[in-house]
Amino acid sequence: MSLSIVTALVRNLITVPAAVLRSRAAKDAEVLALRHENAVLRRQIARVRYEPADRIWLAALSRLVPRDRWRQVFAVTPTTLLRWHRQLVMRKWTFTQRRRPGRPSTASTVKQLILRLARENHTWGHRRIQGELARLGYLIAPSTVWQVLHDAGIDPAPQRSGPTWHQFLNAQAHGIIAADSLHLDCAVTLKRLYALVFIEHGTRRLHLAGVTPHPTAQWTVQQARNLAMALGCRMDSLRYLIRDRDTKYTHSFDAVFEADDVKILLSPPRAPRANAICERVVGTLRREVLDRMLIYNEAHAVAVLTEYIRHYNGHRPHQSRQQLPPDSDGPPAPAAVTDLQAHRIRRRPILGGLVNEYRHAA
């Protein structure tokens, strides 16, 4: 209780012995005077405002006054007095000291881990996720896992969609090779040329199959044969070939790869993300080479692309390979050179300085 409530209660309790010691006639007269004053005040005030100490005091006195006399003695209804008494009892028997906390909420880190497991494993239901959490040391009920997934809007495992192209390509990267073609225009004759390129997903190694002004089906099949011979034993590690639905890719083209147990995957129409890695390397060829120099003829196009692809495979760093080039087998040895004045950095121009390579001077 606050200090004001305690003070008011003490003041009222002190007046009780004085009232008991008075004579009966004096007390009856005082009670009559107080009743009359109470009646006068009721006629003047529409609603009486009681402080908490007043409510406690009246509720305590109500236990000493007969129930049928409440309406004449007190300025409130019997229902109000009973409610005040219930509140007084509730304050006394709150059991605040012995009350224990309820069920703790799930930690945010555990919720994030549940959502991560659901996103990375689209076939796992809430019980499978709960088992994995138990193995990791997070003991949590399956119903809690279900509730977390439900609140995040994640459907049960059988109702989720299958793996996306991004998930599929990452899982099968080391066994995928992709094909695509790009066009380039000669500077003088404005003759359009077509280049066929292949890229290995696992290593990001780029291959130029050929350049021609007329990409017929027979020419495409021959370039596929040349690529299969150039790859040699590496064809055994390939499992899928991703290509679009261009008519130049015939059954004979597919048969070249199917002979080495390579399955052909057709990208959906107007879905460049299904062949995103090959589409991106085509964009790299345009941004770094073809859009920055003039191509004169077919031989010049082959020479330019061959030189750049040599740089692309042997030197150019790739974010997906921890900044390693495609032909690198392991992480580069850390350079011990710290004084650039004593150890010079040498530049090696590629394509006349269009692209540069940098190495430590011998």
Total residues belonging to the chain: 362
Looking at residue 334, what is its pLDDT?
55
| Number of Cβ atoms within 10 Å of the Cβ of 110 | 17
Regarding beta strands 355-360 and 192-200, do their DSSP bridges make them parallel or antiparallel, or are they unpaired? unpaired
Q: What is the SS3 assignment for 149? A: helix
CA atoms of 60 and 69, how far apart (whole Å): 15
Tokens of residue 127, six digits? 């019980």
Contacts of 66 (CB under 8 A, 6+ apart): none
What topology does CATH give the domain 168-321? Answer: Nucleotidyltransferase; domain 5 (3.30.420)
CA atoms of 35 and 73, how far apart (whole Å): 7
Task: Report the run of H or E that residue 183 belongs to, with start and end.
Answer: strand 176-185
> Which of 227, 224, 176 has its CA nearest to residue 203?
176
Looking at residue 44, what is its pLDDT?
66
User: What pTM was computed for the model?
Assistant: 0.55
Tokens of residue 215, six digits? 């990409």
Q: Where are the domains of the chain?
A: 3-92, 108-159, 168-321
CA atoms of 227 and 259, how far apart (whole Å): 13
Task: Report the run of H or E that residue 196 belongs to, with start and end.
Answer: strand 192-200
Q: Would you write out the chain's pLDDT as a tens digit for each of its 362 residues? A: 566 666 666 666 656 665 555 566 666 666 766 666 676 666 666 666 777 777 777 777 777 777 777 666 766 666 776 776 777 777 766 665 555 666 678 888 888 888 888 887 777 888 888 888 887 888 888 888 888 888 888 877 665 656 666 666 666 778 899 999 999 998 878 899 999 999 999 889 999 999 999 999 999 999 999 999 999 888 888 999 999 999 999 999 999 999 999 999 999 888 888 898 999 999 999 999 999 899 999 999 999 999 999 999 998 888 878 788 898 876 665 555 556 566 677 888 888 888 888 877 76
> Which of 216, 226, 217 has its CA nearest to residue 257?
226
| Number of Cβ atoms within 10 Å of the Cβ of 8 | 18
CA atoms of 211 and 197, how far apart (whole Å): 9
Looking at residue 120, what is its pLDDT?
78
Q: Chain-centre distance of CA 331, in angstroms?
A: 30
Looking at residue 166, what is its pLDDT?
64
